């Protein structure tokens, strides 16, 4: 009896602990399993999501705030032109010229002033003589015509002076080239002492407001319906890889490039801190509307079997469930989920393949 009792106690002691019932697609890890170190979990939530894959673009000057300044008169530069990078206001002097054209305009104005003075005196004299019956009406009318012609010549000379922004009292033959807008001198193609002409091919200066730039991007026609005027974009550049800059769609081209099947889109790009530079290449993310949210997960959470994509959900600390999902947009490191996940669920973001391998082991151990 003692021997039988001892055998019975020994067999009871060696009996394995009861295990959780195994369900297809679910994995149980022991609380002390070393595999748990490779499993990371995050809570699922709704967020704004990209509408399409990131686009490429180029930053340029805002043409509406850029002026290419040339001289309207011929002349020789007599002062040091303003330096590159100088902040100027509308009306600031960029350089001064000694100009024969300006001297001729000043001479024409002085000549017109002298002519109208003489014509006025003659007209007044003829008027007095006509009232005294000393001259004929024809002579009076001729004097009036001469006065009107002289007045027209003065107005023409004044308009010429105004167009050149020359004061009526100026008589030194010099011309001040001024900036038509406020901004920064971003290009200069003139040096002291050179001769300039109005038909010069390259502008003497380029002035632009670099606080407001333009972002150009080419959108394929299949994605054109996802771009709208006023839409907000996120922009990144290689110089600042961890930063995003806001942009707004300002113009959508009305012509399709038949070779590339793309449409050019212009966006307003604020540059308050002058960190962005024209010529930089950019990566653009087209975000959904603020109220159009979806679930985005890292691609490390997804694994593929056959034609389907799967993830693992943590049901509790040691219990995981495999679940099929549908991906609406697959990006470089993230995926937009359209079906299969709900907010606040616990998603296995790392270690999905470890759990999948454990599931296969459990399945094999169940086979007779």
For residue range 313-341, what is the model confidence (pLDDT) as tens digits? 999 888 999 999 999 888 888 999 999 99
The whole-number pLDDT of residue 4 equals 40
Domain 26-49+292-366 classification at class level: mainly beta
Q: What's 134's DSSP letter?
A: S
Q: What mean pLDDT do residues 123-143 have?
A: 87
Give the domain 100-168 fold: Helix Hairpins (1.10.287)
- pLDDT confidence bin for 1, thresholds 50/70/90: very low
Query: Among 44-58, 64-78, 153-167, 243-257, which is the least confidently predicted range?
Result: 153-167
User: Is pLDDT of 9 > 80?
Assistant: no
Q: What does 237-293 look like in DSSP terms, one character per residue?
A: ETTEEEEEEEEEEEEE-SS-BTTTTEEEEEEEEE-TTS---TT-EEEEEEBPPTT-E
- pLDDT confidence bin for 345, thresholds 50/70/90: very high
Nearest to 47 by CA among 218, 251, 293, 211: 293
Sign of CA dihedral 71, 75, 79, 81: positive
Q: What residues form DSSP beta bridges with 87? A: 184
The whole-number pLDDT of residue 361 equals 66
Tokens linked to 206? 């380029």
The whole-number pLDDT of residue 24 equals 76
Q: Domain coordinates of the chain in residue numbers? A: 26-49+292-366, 55-64+209-286, 100-168
Q: Which helix (H) or strand (E) holds 169?
A: none
User: Is pLDDT of 165 > 50?
Assistant: yes
Residue 182: is it exposed, middle or buried by C-beta count within 10 angstroms (0-12/13-18/19+)?
Answer: middle
For residue range 10-45, what is the model confidence (pLDDT) as tens digits? 444 454 444 555 667 788 888 888 888 889 999 999
For residue range 181-228, what is the model confidence (pLDDT) as tens digits? 999 999 999 999 999 999 888 999 999 999 999 999 999 999 999 999
| Distance separating alpha carbons of residues 278 and 214, to the nearest angstrom | 8
| Distance separating alpha carbons of residues 317 and 296, to the nearest angstrom | 23
The whole-number pLDDT of residue 320 equals 92
User: Is pLDDT of 355 > 80?
Assistant: yes
Q: What mean pLDDT do residues 263-284 have?
A: 94
**Phi/psi zone of residue 340: left (φ > 0), alpha (ψ -120 to 50 degrees), beta?**
left
The whole-number pLDDT of residue 365 equals 56
The whole-number pLDDT of residue 15 equals 47
User: Is pLDDT of 257 > 80?
Assistant: yes
Domain 55-64+209-286 has CATH 2.40.30.170: yes
The whole-number pLDDT of residue 13 equals 47
Tokens linked to 239? 């110089």
Tokens linked to 87? 């902040």
User: Is pLDDT of 247 > 90?
Assistant: yes
In degrees to the nearest 10, what's the CA dihedral of 204, 210, 214, 215?
120
Averaged pLDDT score across all residues of the chain: 87
Tokens linked to 253? 């081209």
The whole-number pLDDT of residue 331 equals 86
Predicted TM-score (pTM) above 0.85: no
């Amino acid at each position: 009896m003692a021997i039988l009792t001892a055998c019975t106690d020994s067999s009871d002691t060696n009996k394995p602990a009861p295990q959780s019932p195994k369900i297809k697609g679910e994995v149980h890890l022991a609380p002390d399993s070393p595999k748990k170190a490779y499993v990371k979990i995050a809570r699922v939530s709704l967020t704004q999501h990209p509408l399409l894959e990131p686009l490429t673009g180029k930053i340029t000057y805002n043409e509406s705030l850029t002026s290419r300044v040339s001289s309207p008169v011929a002349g020789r530069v007599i002062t040091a032109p303003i330096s590159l990078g100088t902040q100027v206001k509308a009306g600031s002097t960029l350089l001064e010229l000694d100009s024969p054209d300006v001297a001729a305009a000043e001479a024409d104005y002085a000549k017109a002033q002298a002519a109208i003075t003489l014509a006025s005196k003659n007209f007044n004299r003829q008027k007095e003589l006509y009232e005294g019956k000393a001259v004929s009406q024809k002579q009076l009318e001729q004097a009036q015509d001469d006065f009107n012609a002289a007045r027209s010549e003065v107005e023409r000379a004044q308009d010429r002076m105004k167009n050149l922004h020359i004061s009526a009292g100026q008589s030194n033959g010099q011309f001040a080239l001024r900036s038509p807008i406020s901004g920064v001198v971003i290009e200069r193609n003139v040096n002291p002492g050179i001769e300039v002409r109005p038909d010069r091919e390259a502008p003497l200066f380029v002035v632009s407001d670099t606080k407001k730039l333009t972002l150009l991007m080419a959108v394929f026609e299949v994605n054109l319906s996802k771009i709208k005027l006023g839409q907000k974009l996120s922009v990144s550049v290689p110089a600042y890889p961890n930063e995003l800059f806001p942009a707004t769609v300002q113009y959508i081209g009305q012509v399709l490039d038949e070779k590339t099947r793309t449409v050019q889109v212009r966006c307003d790009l604020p540059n308050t801190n002058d960190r962005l530079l024209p010529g930089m290449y950019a990566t653009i993310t087209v975000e959904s509307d603020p109220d159009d949210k979806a679930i985005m997960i890292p691609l490390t959470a997804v694994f593929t079997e056959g034609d389907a994509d799967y993830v693992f959900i943590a049901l509790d600390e040691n219990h995981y469930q495999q679940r099929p999902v549908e991906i609406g947009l697959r990006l470089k490191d993230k995926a937009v989920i359209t079906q299969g996940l709900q907010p606040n669920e616990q998603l296995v973001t790392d270690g999905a393949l470890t759990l999948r391998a454990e599931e296969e082991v459990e399945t094999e151990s169940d086979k007779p």
